[in-house]
Amino acid sequence: MPFLKLAEKRYSARKYLDKPVNRSLIERAVEAARLAPSACNSQPWHFVVVDEPEKVKKLAEATFLPLTKMNKFVTQVPVIVALVSEPSNTSAAAGGYVKKKPYYLMDIGMAAEHFCLQAAEDNLGTCILGWFNEKKVKKYLNVPKGRSIPLLITLGYPEPGNKTVKHRRELDSILSYNSY
C-alpha cells in the first residue's frame, strides 16, 4: 500500500470487535516498531503485550477515571500494549542531557507510530493512550524500578462503521520554506 494511503487509513480506533488478535499479527507490529530509528541507535523500548481477557480488563481499570468517560472504551479492547522505556545507551543519554531534550520519548513515539502503521496495514485498529495511572500499570505488569511507561496502545479489529473523521489543517498552513 502506498505510504500516504496507509497514513490516511490509520486512525484512533475506539470501538473494537470481540475477536482475539493472532499473536503473529502482534509480532509483525512489534517487528515494525523494532525497526524504528532511535537516537544513537539506543532502542530504548520494551513491549509488554497483554492479550489475556481477564488481564486486559484488570489493566484497563488503570486507564480511566470512574467518574469520566475518558478512555472508558479500553475496557472492551482485546489487546493492550505497554511501551516501557528502557535506559538509553550512554551516547543518547548524554546527548539528551546536554541538549535538554528527552530523546528517549521521541524514540518511543517513532516506535509507537511504526507499530500503529503496521497494524493498520494488517487491518487492525489502534489508539495511543497517554492518560493512565502509570503507577498501577507498572505494578500490574511487574515493570522494574527505574523504567517508565510513556504510553499504552490499544489493539484489535475495529468495529466497522466507527472510523473517526480526521480533521487536519491544510498543508499550506503548516508548511513554509526557508523561514517561518
Domains of the chain: 11-159 (3.40.109.10)
Instruction: Please tell me the number of Cα atoms within 13 Å of 82 on its side-chain side.
Output: 27
- As a 3-state breakdown, the chain gives helix, strand, coil percent values, each rounded to 5, of 40, 15, 40
Is residue 155 over pLDDT 90?
A: yes
Distance CA 159, CA 106 (A): 30
Give 8's pLDDT tier (boundaries 50, 70, 90): very high
Residue percentage of the chain with pLDDT more than 90: 76
Give 161's pLDDT tier (boundaries 50, 70, 90): confident
* Nearest Cα residue to 128 out of 76, 63, 68: 63
Phi/psi class of residue 152: alpha, beta or left (left: φ > 0; alpha: ψ in -120 to 50)? Answer: beta
Give 100's pLDDT tier (boundaries 50, 70, 90): confident
What average pLDDT does the segment 40-57 reach? 95
pTM: 0.93
Residue percentage of the chain with pLDDT more than 70: 99
pLDDT top residue among 33 and 167: 33
Is residue 96 over pLDDT 80?
A: no
pLDDT top residue among 103 and 133: 133
Q: Are 115 and 5 in contact (CB under 8 A)?
A: no
Give 148's pLDDT tier (boundaries 50, 70, 90): very high
Lowest mean pLDDT across 20-29, 55-64, 118-127: 55-64
Give 36's pLDDT tier (boundaries 50, 70, 90): very high
C-alpha distances in Å from residue 83, one per residue of 25, 70, 80, 91, 142: 17, 20, 10, 21, 13
pLDDT top residue among 161 and 44: 44
